[in-house]
Amino acid sequence: MTADPMTDPFAGADARWMAGRTALVTGGGQSTAFPGVGYATCRVLARHGARVAVLDRDAGAAGRTVKLITEDGGTAVPVIADVTSDRACAGAVAETAGAFGTLDAVVNCVAAGDRGGLFDTTPEHYDRLMTVNLRSAWSIMRHAVPVMPRGSAIVNISSVTVRSRGPGMIYSVAKAGLENLTEGAATSLGPQGIRVNCVQVGVIWGAFAARGPMPESLREPRRLSTSLKTEGTSWDVAYATLFLLSDRARWISGHILAVDGGPPHHYDTEPVTSVPQGE
């Protein structure tokens, strides 16, 4: 039976958009003074009622995120795993479902970047970038989907550097593959009632940029490369992710949402090349 189209299906609903849900976020640890996308996403989801599994290879970083969430009145557990291992991904999913009894949301945020050209690297480095940025998301989804109930959602974190023509192209190639994986998974999982979307992160001044690869002198040019002329943060990405995971986005799947301050961007210039998030 079709619901009355004049009735708001969320009228009177809990203002916390993830109340009663369990979310697994890869790359959710906090290890720098600037908040990473994974960390910010964990905090935002917890504030909106989610029980959060903070997956990170660094136990200290995961523990810091969990500590801040619990001090804020939320619920979280650390899940220590190296997502380059399919077995570790399977274990992380099992640990999350075991801790909370369900798994309703997944955010694939972990990333590793480079600033090299397309061919001035080694096969080993190429394989690592593909494994961290692309295969890890496939592994997490592969193990998560069988335990995710109807109405669940997945968000993969990509980057506007998929349109880059400068350094960091292998990272960009991997992220382009992640976007294609998102669209394919949305088609495959739609009949199961599982939505899959992607957030394409713009040139924010987040944890990766702030901790060394990007000199401070590039911060202002990066801000000016957006049409809004304002600096984006990890929190902007986290709130977009919250929306896509929530029931408010119940009819959105297979979408690539750019959270980038609006065009134009100068993708072939130094300030906007290779800005991975989440690691």
Domain limits, the chain: 22-272
**Half-sphere exposure for 220 (CA within 13 Å, toward CB):** 1
Q: Which helix (H) or strand (E) holds 156?
A: strand 153-159
Could you say which residues of the chain have pLDDT below 50?
1, 267-279
8 A C-beta contact, residue 18 and residue 41: no
In this prediction, residue 213 carries a pLDDT of 57
Question: Global pTM?
Answer: 0.89
In this prediction, residue 275 carries a pLDDT of 38
Q: Is 126 a catalytic residue?
A: no
* Given the residues 39, 126, 171, 239, the one annotated as active site: 171
Q: Which helix (H) or strand (E) holds 195?
A: strand 195-201
List C-alpha distances in Å: 62 to 12, 34, 155, 196: 35, 15, 20, 25
Strand partners for 24: 53, 106
The angle that helices 234-245 and 37-47 make with each other, rounded to 10 degrees, is: 50
Task: Pull the structure tokens for residue 229.
Answer: 């002329």
Is beta strand 105-108 parallel, antiparallel or unpaired with respect to 75-80? unpaired
* Farthest-apart Cα atoms in the chain, separation: 59
Is beta strand 51-56 parallel, antiparallel or unpaired with respect to 195-201? unpaired
Class of domain 22-272: alpha beta
For CA atoms 76, 82, 86, 91, the dihedral sign is negative
Q: Which helix (H) or strand (E) holds 106?
A: strand 105-108
Strand partners for 79: 55
